[in-house]
Amino acid sequence: GAGVSQSPSNKVTEKGKDVELRCDPISGHTALYWYRQSLGQGLEFLIYFQGNSAPDKSGLPSDRFSAERTGGSVSTLTIQRTQQEDSAVYLCASSSRAGGRGRRDGYTFGSGTRLTVV
């Protein structure tokens, strides 16, 4: 597609349930990122996939959070046993990345998934 697609756009779930959020990046973009944005807050890094390299999971807040990227394209972010503090907008972004330094494209963000845990 022309942009980064995320689904669902809104998700309301009960505390303790598991949720899966999906991100479909721009075709050909090798890098994919997940960020979280709580109400009125900045963008908190969660996880980063780049090609076939091991993902950078350093931002995942707990072991209840996991993500995978299949075939170098679609990614799913899974939150197990959701808690109320998980309520936020989850943003996915993708970018192209030329080998080495010297060239950079900015991120293209999806519209996000608004997760509400009740």
Binding site for other proteins (CB under 8 A): 31, 33, 35, 41-43, 45, 48, 50, 56, 58, 91, 95, 97, 101, 104, 106-112
Closest distance between other proteins and the C-beta of residue 34, in Å? Answer: 11
Q: Which amino acid is at 41?
A: Q
Got the DSSP string for 45-98? EEEEEETTSPPB-TT--STTEEEEESTTS-EEEEE-S--GGG-EEEEEEEE---
Indicate the residue among 76 and 111 with the shorter CB distance to other proteins.
111
Nearer to other proteins, 5 or 13 (CB): 5
82 vs 95, beta carbon nearer other proteins = 95
Residue 3 CB, nearest approach to other proteins (Å): 9
What is the distance between the alpha carbons of residues 33 and 16, in angstroms, rounded to a whole number?
25
